[in-house]
Amino acid sequence: MEKTLLALWQTVPSGNIKQTQVADLLGLSSKQTTRLLRKWSDEGWFTFTSGRGRGNTSHLEWHKNVEDIYEQQLVKLIEEQTVEAASKYLLFDWSPELKQRLMHKFRSNFGYVQNSKSDNDKLIIPRKYPLLTLHPLYAADVHSVNMVAAVYSRLVSVNEQGDVSPELAHSWDLTSTSLRLYLRKEVHFHNGSFLTVEDVVECLGRLRTHASYVDLWKPITTIKTISPHILEISFPGGCSYCLQMLGMINASIYKETAVQPIGSGSFFVEENHELKTTLTAFGDYFKERPLLDTVEFIQVPEDFDFAYRTSANDKTEETFQVESDSGFGVVVLNAFRDSPINRQEVRDYVHYAIAKHRHKIGLFHPRAMANHQSCLIGQEQPYSLPAPKKPHLEQPLIIKAANYTNGATRWLKGALESEGIPVEIQWLSFRDKMMDTKEDQTADLFVHGEVFEMNQNFSFFYFLSNGYSPLATIMKSQPKFGNYMQQYATAPFENWTALNLKIERELIESSIMLPLYYEKRQIPFSVDLMNISISHFGYVDFSKLWVRPVKRD
């Protein structure tokens, strides 16, 4: 099956057409198009009569229905081959009705599978977006960090309340200027080697000097080895959040190799490419071994129906919903760009337009609940907003957007234009938007979706300060915000809610960061999937899942 032939069938009916038009439609060169047209004609798909002379019209006459034939081939492939073998063809440009039929057929291959001979328990899960990275230092999107959480371990873990518990470090001594950590003995990496204190010091050293985290780690002056299983982190000026910082996903401990970093987590990476990622349970995991043996993630179209199913209930497809926080959305105004957006009256008018139309966000982004108060769940941050005078704009405002904020961006464009603000949209790919962290931003405003890792207070501070955040440059560029950020290192962690609210109010009143929506996700689970718990960033903890066996007559 060829994607380009199906695309030709979908876009070019029998009749006259210029060969240059075919090349443009397929995105191919003239030479490539000539070769393929000859090949497909020889295979009997159609007859192609080339027009004589430059610019003359050619004629294409179809003899076979490409989509019908490809459907038969793909259905057979789904029934007889692996999910991975068929998944890449599901990404073709099928007609909407056929695509739904194929996805329904394809869906039955996902879920829990048990090999009766080897007693191997496998969970096959659809993946809508490509995996960008498996390296803890570069994991900035929720899909990557969910995988990193399963493959690597951290020195400590932090729960939603901010409480810290042991992981690779079994205990610690904390003072106002230092943290001494005591490592577990005989912790295995996935390649069989033992974790050493040198591995930990090297990892933290890379993290501390990485451009995206250097500001976060600024209070730390030294990280040194004390003995084979003891290290010490020093912060003479104070660092009240040092323990919480060590529990973040980017602080995962790994052993660097020439191929890929090696972890010590509950699963190791057995296979990873653009269509499939396979995680396999690590038998020498220092904590409880996962009950599932394998978790496979298979690439599917973005509109694929996502559910954690098992093959045991494929007749009834009975599921129940687990609600998970899926973060919040804000509109960020690039207040220090050399454009009209740097004028307070322009930002205030944009703020007014957003507040006026915010209640309609759910019409464009179905899971979104309009947020008129604060990004911090459970905290009320009411503020008044008088109607400002409409400013004069000689140029449109530029909105930067990616597909995953498509609905919210369309809402933003409509809201601003309805209030007389001209806008243009710059579209970026998912990957490009995630990596778009340069200080020299080329946009005036954009919708940003953020998902908190675990504890809300630390996560909000991390959102403001890490190098992947769209707000980090703003927080550093203005003395007022820079002074606020310095307070975190010495403020007791239990007082962070008040500090977070104070900074958030300044950002809102300066019309720099505007709350837009809360988002919750309803995740369907098969009724026989057991021990479901939500881990980092609202995702399932695969190390805890198991499947209750079905009684068979």
Domain-by-domain residue ranges, the chain? 3-64, 153-251, 324-520
Residue 416 structure tokens: 């601003």
The one-letter amino acid code at 96 reads: P
Distance of CA 281 to the CA centre of its chain: 23
CB-based contact 251:263 (threshold 8 Å): no
* Chain CA centroid to CA 106, Å: 24
d(CA 36, CA 58): 15
Domain 153-251 sits in CATH 3.40.50.720: no
For 200, the enclosing helix (H) or strand (E) is helix 197-209
pLDDT at residue 530 in the model: 66
Q: How far apart are CA 379 and CA 7, in angstroms?
A: 51
**Contact, 252 vs 144, CB < 8 A?**
no
Identify which of 238, 105, 247, 233 has the alpha carbon closest to the alpha carbon of residue 168.
Answer: 247
Q: In whole angstroms, how far apart are CA 551 and each of 309, 418, 526, 528, 548?
A: 18, 60, 16, 12, 9
| Distance, CA of 398 to CA of 422 (rounded, Å) | 9
Q: Which amino acid is at 308?
A: Y
Contact 239, 176 (CB under 8 A): no
Tens place of pLDDT per residue across the chain (553 aa): 898 999 999 889 999 988 888 888 888 898 999 899 999 999 999 999 987 666 678 899 999 999 999 888 888 877 666 666 677 787 788 887 887 777 766 655 554 454 545 567 888 777 877 888 999 999 888 888 889 999 999 999 988 888 899 999 999 999 999 999 999 999 999 999 999 999 999 999 999 999 889 989 999 999 999 999 999 999 999 999 999 999 999 999 999 988 889 999 999 999 998 888 999 999 999 998 988 888 888 887 766 655 555 444 444 455 545 554 557 889 999 888 889 999 999 999 999 999 999 999 988 887 788 998 888 888 877 777 778 899 999 899 999 888 778 889 999 999 999 999 999 998 887 666 665 655 556 789 988 888 877 788 898 998 888 878 878 877 877 788 888 888 999 999 889 999 999 999 999 999 999 999 988 655 555 556 666 666 655 567 778 777 665 555 5
CB 133 within 8 A of CB 434: no
Supply the pLDDT for residue 378: 81
pLDDT at 142: 80
Q: How far apart are CA 298 and CA 489, in angstroms?
A: 42
**SS3 call for 157:** strand
Residue 522: the pLDDT is: 52
**Nearest-angstrom CA–CA distance, 345 and 350:** 9
SS3 20: helix
CATH of domain 3-64: 1.10.10.10
pLDDT of res. 313 = 43
Pick 324-520's CATH classification: 1.20.120.1200, 3.40.50.1100, 3.40.710.10, 3.10.105.10.
Answer: 3.10.105.10
| CB distance 253 to 155 below 8 Å | yes
Burial of 366 (0-12, 13-18, 19+ CB in 10 A): exposed
Rounded Cα–Cα distance for residues 134 and 137 (Å):
9
What is the rounded CA–CA span in Å between residue 513 and residue 472? 12
How far apart are the C-alpha atoms of 240 and 252, rounded to whole Å? 20
Picking from 331, 512, 517, 329, the residue whose alpha carbon sits closest to that of residue 416 is: 331
Q: Which of these, 303, 335, 327, lies nearest to 446 by C-alpha position? A: 335
CB 234 within 8 A of CB 119: no
Task: Quote the strand ranges of 23-152, DSSP E.
Answer: 46-49, 58-62, 111-115, 120-127
For residues 373 and 392, give the distance between their C-alpha atoms in angstroms, rounded to a whole number. Answer: 29
Rg of the Cα atoms in the chain: 27
Contact in structure between 518 and 362 (CB atoms under 8 Å): no
Quickly tell me which residue has 């490539």 as its tokens. Answer: 32
pLDDT of residue 314: 44
Centre a 10 Å sphere on the Cβ of residue 299 and count the other Cβ atoms it contains.
21
CA distance 436 to 431: 9
Amino acid letter, residue 157: S
Q: How many CB atoms lie within 10 A of CB 288?
A: 9
DSSP letter at 372 equals S
What is the side-by-side strand order in the sheet with 368-370? Answer: 368-370, 513-526, 319-333, 445-450, 397-402, 423-428
